[in-house]
Structure 1
Amino acid sequence: MAEEEKKHFDIYIELFCNYLRSVKSYSENTIVNYRKDLLQFAEFCYKNWNISTISNINNDIIRSYLSELRLKRRMSSTIIRKRSALSSFIRFLEQKGFMQKGLVSFPKGFRGERKLPESFTKNQITNFLLFVKNQIKNDTNVFEYRDYVMIIFLSFCGVRASELINMKKNHIDSQNCIIKVTGKGNKQRLVPFPDDFRKDINCYIRLTQMNNWEFLFCNKSGKKLTRRGLFYILVKKVEKYPDPVHMHPHKFRHTFATLLLENGADIRMIQKLLGHESIATTEKYTHLDRERKKQLYAKFHPHA
Structure 2
Amino acid sequence: MEDQLKDFLHFLIVEKGLAQNTIVSYERDLKSYIKYLKTEEHLNSLKDVQRGQIVHFSGKLKEQGKSSKTLARHVASIRAFHQFLLREKVVDNDPSVHIETPKLERSLPKVLNLKEVELLLESPNTNDHYGLRDKAMLELLYATGIRVSELIGLNIGDAHLTMGFIRCIGKGNKERIIPIGNKATEAIQKYLQEGRQHFVSKKYRDDSLFLNHHGKGLSRQGFWKILKRLTQEAGIQKELTPHTLRHSFATHLLENGADLRAVQEMLGHADISTTQIYTHVTKTRLKDVYSQFHPRA
Give the TM-score band, short-chain normalised.
0.7 to 0.9
Amino acid at match of 2:171: K
CA contact (8 A) 2:68 2:103 kept: yes
Matched residues, percent identical?
Answer: 30
CA positional deviation for 1:145: 0.7
Query: Structure 1 49/245 Cα, relative in aligned 2: closer, same or farther at 3 Å?
Result: same
Larger mean CA deviation between 202-211 and 178-187 belongs to 202-211
CA contact (8 A) 2:168 2:176 kept: yes
Equivalent residue, structure 1, for 2:153: 166
SS in 1 for 2:91: coil
1:117 has 2:109 as partner: yes
Name the TM-score, length of structure 1 as normaliser. 0.85
CA contact (8 A) 2:71 2:102 kept: no
* Alpha-carbon distance in 1 for matches of 2:183, 2:272: 30
Equivalent residue, structure 1, for 2:119: 127
CA contact (8 A) 1:157 1:256 kept: yes
Aligned-CA RMSD value = 2.6
- For structure 2, the residue ranges without an aligned partner over 5 or more in a row are none
- For structure 1, the residue ranges without an aligned partner over 5 or more in a row are 1-8
* Alpha-carbon distance in 2 for matches of 1:257, 1:79: 28
1:196 has 2:183 as partner: yes
CA contact (8 A) 2:83 2:94 kept: no
Equivalent residue, structure 2, for 1:136: 126
1:100 has 2:87 as partner: no
Equivalent residue, structure 2, for 1:3: none
CA positional deviation for 1:109: 6.0
Name the TM-score, length of structure 2 as normaliser. 0.87
CA positional deviation for 1:36: 0.9
Pick one of 161, 168, 171 that aligns with 1:184: 171
SS in 2 for 1:180: strand
Amino acid at match of 1:17: L
SS in 1 for 2:221: helix
Query: Structure 1 125/97 Cα, relative in aligned 2: closer, same or farther at 3 Å?
Result: same
SS in 1 for 2:97: coil
CA positional deviation for 1:158: 1.0
Equivalent residue, structure 1, for 2:16: 24
* Alpha-carbon distance in 1 for matches of 2:296, 2:81: 51
* Alpha-carbon distance in 1 for matches of 2:54, 2:164: 49
CA positional deviation for 1:157: 0.9
Equivalent residue, structure 1, for 2:270: 277
The C-alpha deviation readout for 1:76-125, integer Å capped at 9, x for no partner, is 22222222211211221122111224543143463221212222112211
* Alpha-carbon distance in 1 for matches of 2:109, 2:24: 23
Equivalent residue, structure 2, for 1:43: 35
